[in-house]
Amino acid sequence: MEIININSARWHTQLKNSVTNFSDFVQYFENSSKNRTIYDDTARYDHIEGSSNLLDSIKLYLQNKAMEKVIVENRKIEKVFVKNREMERVIERYPMRITPYYLSLIKSVGDPIWKQAVPDIAELYESKDESVQPVIVADPLHEERQSPVPSIIHRYPDRVIFLVSNQCAMYCRHCMRKRKVGLQIQQKLSSKFCRFKLCSNEEYKKEESENIEDYGKSDLIDLGLEYIRKTKEIRDVILSGGDPLLLNTEKIDRILFALRKIDHVETIRIHTRVVCTLPFRITDNLVSVLEKYHPLYINIHFNHPSEITDESASACDLLSSAGVPLGCQTVLLEGVNDNPETMITLMRKLIKIRVKPYYLHHPDMVEGTAHFRPSLDTGLDIMRSMRGSLTGIAIPQYMVDLPGGYGKVPVLLNYIKQRDSEKAVVENYQGKICEYRF
């Protein structure tokens, strides 16, 4: 608990020191590898009594050893990025931001944490074969077409997604909104219409005459609130982005206060990943604001057991203890969690920290994410392995979001093999066939 509440400025420091380019990335691993090795190895000699010369000699030896480790680690990193400017090419199109906290969870080059955070040249191609041409399917779910104002996505009659930020603590490489998260948003506003488009950093520099804003700016927030007020069918509002909890606490308070003043809004949900990527953001001050606006639900995003640390567990505890129900939306990702052992371990860890597994998302067909997409059979095999291995409260729904904006549908295992008016032939979790009479 103390690690979260030492100083509310800690999360700002983490963001300020986030890694956003290749040179910072290499420098981080140089420093952390050296410091980790020295710290871990010198701890063994803390109990030694004797001359300071002996301890100094040990430390000098360990420093040299640490530098050898740094060189090895850097060679591994360079081997991954063998092509000229490979990482920079990806960052030019899809920004990179990784907090020092999340970087510290990486154990080796190419591990499941690395894959979620570090740019990959595969993001620029349509399939796992790098020789094919880049894909142009930025918005397969037609969110822009279902956006009556820039900050609102209105797909289902009684609920809306309210985009209040386009910034995240970390830009996940599998993000389903890669087309806009972390990028400048270029917009034109008038009393009669609002239209907007995305632009790269270079385009932004060339078109300085345009009004450049992001979703956290008050005019876009006000447009969203006005739409929600006028649309009486809306009962459920989901704050998303980007990450809503990257806004300052006062702005979050104002948005929640405004929503609670709208009579037909019954529930508010927040979708965030800071609990996983920047747990220090969950401060006493933030929690004291959130607990004023119940019923309020938070869906968080863990994809791998290694992401559940003492820090993230403490953040979850702060939220749960304030009466905020927590759900987890996990994304099935090839090379990250696409096997039963990893997924079962993750679900068990989630319920231990009072987080209900909510959805297991099959990754959307979004530009720049093809290398993460497993087959549906992989997902169904994982769901089959969970049944009987996990308590029911630890089993999420396996979901596909249909291209074209047609909404989410559950992907279900077929346990009923035959059925007539009198009985059903059913397969149990062990594969045994049973007869069930009505």
Which residues are catalytic, by number? Answer: 155-156, 159, 168, 172, 175, 177, 364, 401, 408
Apex CA 241: angle with CA 240 and CA 246, to 5°? 90
Using the structure block, give the residue that is written with the tokens 């930025």.
138
- How far is Cα 411 from Cα 155, in angstroms, rounded to an integer? 20
User: For residue 61, how many other CB atoms are within 10 A of its CB?
Assistant: 11
- How far is Cα 227 from Cα 147, in angstroms, rounded to an integer? 11
SS3 350: helix
SS (H, E, C) 293-311: HCCEEEEECCCCHHHCCHH
SS3 175: coil
- How far is Cα 37 from Cα 48, in angstroms, rounded to an integer? 19
- How far is Cα 182 from Cα 15, in angstroms, rounded to an integer? 13
List, in sequence order, every residue forming a beta bridge with 185; answer none if it has no partner. Answer: 198, 213
Using the structure block, give the residue that is written with the tokens 């990486």.
106
270: DSSP letter: E
- How far is Cα 343 from Cα 322, in angstroms, rounded to an integer? 28
Using the structure block, give the residue that is written with the tokens 């059979």.
377
| C-alpha to C-alpha distances, 82 to 46, 85, 130, nearest whole angstrom | 41, 9, 14
Using the structure block, give the residue that is written with the tokens 């499941």.
112
- How far is Cα 391 from Cα 92, in angstroms, rounded to an integer? 45
- The helix or strand, by DSSP H or E, that contains position 313, with its residue range, turns out to be helix 310-321
> Between the CA atoms of 72, 76, 81 and 85, what dihedral angle is there, to the nearest 10 degrees?
-10
> Between the CA atoms of 289, 292, 297 and 299, what dihedral angle is there, to the nearest 10 degrees?
0
Q: Quick check: 145 and 405 in contact, CB under 8 A? A: yes
The b/e string for 36-53 (b: 16+ C-beta within 10 A; e otherwise) is ebbeebeeeeeeeeeeee
